[in-house]
A and B are shown apart, each in its own frame.
Chain A
């Protein structure tokens, strides 16, 4: 049997050296023979440390876990997968990450040399592996030498992490991984130098500052603004300087939920009052300013004042793809700054500060006091709204979220997943006090269901080393896509409290079908058919227990919820995952 000679090393050992230089803490993978060379290098050449292999039961889980990890930690994860069947599994999660502008570093194995392929490698072989996801990845390469690999591997990292961030793909040839190379072959690990994020042009920033200082009712609308914790700090500084209202559209943790200038819970009123709206990395600025009425004959209308002035600061103007339509409708604006808003805010803050006069300061202070009063009223309305159906069974979602909050509020917690995409039903955002970046991690991005469970596990893994209590409000339909991720959490001892929001249906889809029934004036009592997840009911506690996870439920009586949560949190604090299955009302 051939073995590696004393004067040889594996090509994948060098590949791992390059990956280590990029600082990956983990590789997420469902094992696959097309990257067996790199797999072996990770566990033996690298000692399975930095990166450590995390065993996943589905490639969609691997990528969604990496998505969640990045949201919590701000660092990308590498995912290994087959170039064909693995990528096909992974593709939906890659699409979610791309829509959410989250970097995931995808490593694909592929045997290019047809002359020496084994049987299965023909099914796992492909001419252009990355073609399938090229529409929703930022860059890819299939290197033909180790020097080529090294440069492309570092370039891929730079491309993925430079705003606008997005997934990238590196296709690694099986031969390049497995063929031995002389130990003295001169190979260099390129130095990683991260480009500075693109900031706004000075003249445009000054003009934005003039408009902001002159406005009587400016509103700052932040969506994917805060790349880092500093993004939130900067937005707070700008808002306080102007005493301007802020609407946090929630793709990132942009603004403290209980800050007096936070108008998110009265966003429609704040938007309608505004004479200037500034979109900060808004994924859908048109949808911020306008609305579509979803009836048999759809219509649109403007929500903002007709003469409200509009500014955007967005990397969306720097990057657009043709096929997938995530770019949304084009909104007429008065000033568009093609830049990363977090990188632009320091200059904007300085420019605003220079323009503020004593008279304007007095106006700002009056405005801030009114906004604070409105914010307090909205918060109080939320508390009262949560009391309705308080004791009813199944458990109301408001009660569920209030019970969780009561038990975590004094701890260093992180809500690692919540599927609620608007603030009306986002009970955590309505009731909890979010003031740290890791407490709110946004959404799936592309609306692909099946994100929540794996993203929670990935984010919880990131939170583990910080000692944070990770909590997921886990919807049932989402869980059923790839529940094997529960095993990953158990196997790798990832502390995570999953509270099932088990309404026993794909609820949002049931509403869509109900809408069709009504619009067609027939069968209005049949809207749930095809969307129910009952008959039989799914026992999520048993599902979790079968994979080694502490679990309780199903719980239908709200009075049973607090003790169950308390017991589960005690397990999580010991470093293990736990699940509480709560049978809930619809959202």
Chain B
């Protein structure tokens, strides 16, 4: 179970990256607006169907092997480029299996995720 890649795995906690071994992308809220139109509903279906949730968790909040990717976190250009040619652990999604429009749909769904409550409003997370 233990991967042994301790440095790699833990890095995601502090940084926001597409994967453990890739450079953290810069937060870029304006880039969200520049993304192509995507169908949120279809994006949600695809996010589950093609396994995005396996690593990034059900609401794109980050999980076992993938970091949080939304909402409003990763510029579209970086998002789509990384899906096609990941530099870290994430497996690639080529045009043969995932179209540009489908990427846009997934991106739209990721960015439609609700914002979380303020941490200090949650007693379960009291220091």
Contact = CB atoms under 8 A, between A and B. Distances in A.
Contact of B8 (A264, A268, A383, A521): A268
B55 interface: yes
B88 interface: yes
Interface stretch (A12-20, A113-121, A399-407): A399-407
Contacts of A421: 1-3
B43 interface: no
A192 to B, nearest CB: 33
Given A267-B10, A405-B124, A392 B119 contact: no
Given A383-B119, A524-B50, A515 B91 contact: yes
A425 B20 CA distance: 13
Contacts of A221: 6
Interface in A520-554: 521-522, 524-525, 527-528
A447 B59 contact: no
A392 B63 CA distance: 14
Contact of A585 (B5, B57, B113, B123): B57
Interface stretch (A24-32, A287-295, A337-345): A287-295
Given A514-B91, A518-B93, A525-B49, A422 B54 contact: no
Interface in A287-308: 287-288, 291-295, 301, 303-304
Interface string B14-43: 100000110000000000000000000000
B9 interface: yes
Contacts of B125: 383, 386-387, 402, 431
Nearest to A510: B54
B58 interface: yes
B3 A385 contact: no
B12 A424 contact: yes
B11 interface: yes
B9 A388 contact: no
Interface string A245-261: 00101110000000000
B13 A389 contact: no
A129 interface: no
Contacts of B51: 510-511, 514, 517, 524-525, 527-528
A447 to B, nearest CB: 4
A291 B5 CA distance: 6
A321 B59 CA distance: 45
Contacts of B127: 383
Interface string B103-118: 0000000000100111
Contact of A586 (B12, B57, B118): B57
Contact of B6 (A397, A419, A422): A422
B94 to A, nearest CB: 6
A382 B124 contact: no
B126 to A, nearest CB: 8
Given A288-B6, A388-B59, A586-B57, A293 B123 contact: no
B65 to A, nearest CB: 6
B27 to A, nearest CB: 13
Interface in A372-414: 377-378, 381-392, 394, 396-399, 402-403, 405-406
A383 B13 CA distance: 10
A387 B62 CA distance: 11
Interface in B45-73: 49-51, 53-55, 57-59, 61-65, 68
A425 B4 contact: no
Given A511-B55, A586-B53, A271 B4 contact: no
A211 B95 CA distance: 52
B53 to A, nearest CB: 6
Contacts of B93: 518, 524
A266 B14 CA distance: 6
Provide the main secondary structure of the chain B interface. Answer: loop
A378 B122 CA distance: 18
A381 B14 contact: yes
A444 interface: yes
A131 B65 CA distance: 39
A586 B8 contact: no
B7 to A, nearest CB: 4
B13 A511 contact: no
Given A291-B21, A389-B59, A447 B13 contact: no
Most buried by A among B8, B13, B57, B122: B13
Contacts of B123: 406
A587 B117 contact: no
B91 A425 contact: no
B4 A284 contact: yes
B93 to A, nearest CB: 6
A388 B68 contact: yes
Contacts of A524: 50-51, 93, 97-98
A203 B108 CA distance: 62
Contacts of B21: 291, 293, 301
Contact of B61 (A389, A430, A508, A521): A389
A587 B124 contact: no
B118 to A, nearest CB: 8
Contact of A430 (B8, B13, B88, B117): B13
A267 B124 CA distance: 25
B63 A385 contact: no
Given A385-B62, A386-B125, A264 B1 contact: no
15 contacts: A265-B13, A265-B14, A266-B11, A267-B11, A293-B89, A303-B8, A381-B13, A388-B113, A421-B3, A422-B10, A424-B13, A507-B64, A518-B92, A525-B51, A585-B63
Given A269-B14, A443-B1, A519-B91, 6 more contacts: A269-B11, A287-B5, A293-B88, A378-B13, A390-B122, A514-B51
8 A-B pairs with the lowest CB-CB distances in the bound complex, closest first: A287-B4, A518-B91, A268-B11, A388-B61, A387-B116, A389-B59, A422-B9, A268-B7
